[in-house]
């Protein structure tokens, strides 16, 4: 694929992003489900409310810290060093996401949910910047980071504002959750990656999609597993495995020589 082709696709992706936001704008508000915070597993353990939904976040903390450590060790990870801040922000967001989610699950409310969703959105958009850097160029990935982060922060802030005026609207948060998946799938199918182990991205996408299914069927999974583990707890664990696999592929892959 020529540089001209890549440039055309990059413009197409930029236009598609703006078009997706426009479609959501004209679609109208998507209210948050009233029962969203009624999680199935409310067990208390060692003085911790909603214990398993809290504790199951710690894989994100471990992966985030491990990723930051490996980034600090020269040549440990095969990454685009010109876009280093995106990788750092991705793993840092996993650490912050742990604390945000723990804070939320200890006392579910819109205010605590904001601090769960904020680092989650940061991690999603940092990953988008990473894949742009790896499929197009590191400089383009770096240039995309700030605009993508602004979109992420505004989407979560907008949702919280609409909750405060009793006009709940999740549409832009929905975009932040699913846009990265669609974009990465498109890039994986259309572009050659600069590195081996492209499968790492497929793993993280597949496990994230599975995690969302377990989140959706939180109570049903809890009932099926005899009230031992809920779907939301498994969501955390499965998504944590996904980002760990991605980290391992960053370490094991190698650059593919260009012709």
- What's the token pair of residue 17? 């992003």
Please provide the DSSP assignment of 49-97 as one string: TTHHHHHTTHHHHHHHHHHHHHHHSTTSS---GGGHHHHHHHHHHHHHH
Of 124, 115, 106, 121, residue with least CA distance to 37: 106
Predicted pLDDT at 44:
81
pLDDT at 67: 97
pLDDT at 1 over 60: no
User: If you search the block for the tokens 């508000």, which residue do you land on?
Assistant: 29
In angstroms, rounded to a whole number, what is the distance separating the alpha carbons of residues 179 and 184? 9
Burial class (CB in 10 A: 0-12, 13-18, 19+), 136: buried
* pLDDT, tens digit (0-9, with 9 covering 90-100), for 117-130: 999 999 999 999 99
What pLDDT shows up at residue 21? 79
- The closest alpha carbon to 67, from 85, 91, 86, 89, belongs to 91
Give the pLDDT confidence score for residue 143 in this predicted structure: 93
CA distances from 238 to 110, 153, 245 (A): 24, 25, 11
Q: How confident is the model at residue 192 (pLDDT cuts 50, 70, 90)?
A: confident
Q: How many CB atoms lie within 10 A of CB 158?
A: 15
Report the distance separating Cα 179 and Cα 50, nearest Å.
Answer: 30
Q: Are 125 and 180 in contact (CB under 8 A)?
A: yes
């Amino acid at each position: 694929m020529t540089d001209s082709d890549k440039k055309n696709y990059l413009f197409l992706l930029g236009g598609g992003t703006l078009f997706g936001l426009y479609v959501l704008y004209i679609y109208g508000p998507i209210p948050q489900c009233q029962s969203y915070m009624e999680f199935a597993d409310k067990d208390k353990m060692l003085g911790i409310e909603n214990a398993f939904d809290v504790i199951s976040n710690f894989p994100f903390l471990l992966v985030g810290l491990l990723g930051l450590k490996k980034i600090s060790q020269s040549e440990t990870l095969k990454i685009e060093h010109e876009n280093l801040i995106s990788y750092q922000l991705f793993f840092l967001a996993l650490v912050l996401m742990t604390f945000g989610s723990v804070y939320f699950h200890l006392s579910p409310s819109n205010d605590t949910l904001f601090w769960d969703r904020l680092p989650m959105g940061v991690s999603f958009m940092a990953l988008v910047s990473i894949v742009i850097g790896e499929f197009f160029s590191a400089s383009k990935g770096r240039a995309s980071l700030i605009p993508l982060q602004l979109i992420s922060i505004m989407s979560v802030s907008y949702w919280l504002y609409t909750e405060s005026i009793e006009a709940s609207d999740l549409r832009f948060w929905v975009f932040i959750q699913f846009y990265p998946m669609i974009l990465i799938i498109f890039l994986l199918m259309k572009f050659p990656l600069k590195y081996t182990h492209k499968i790492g991205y497929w793993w993280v996408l597949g496990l994230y999609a599975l995690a969302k299914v377990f989140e959706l069927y939180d109570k049903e999974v809890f009932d099926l597993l005899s009230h031992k583990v809920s779907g939301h707890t498994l969501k955390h664990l499965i998504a944590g495995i996904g980002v760990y696999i991605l980290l391992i592929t960053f370490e094991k892959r190698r650059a593919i020589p260009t012709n």
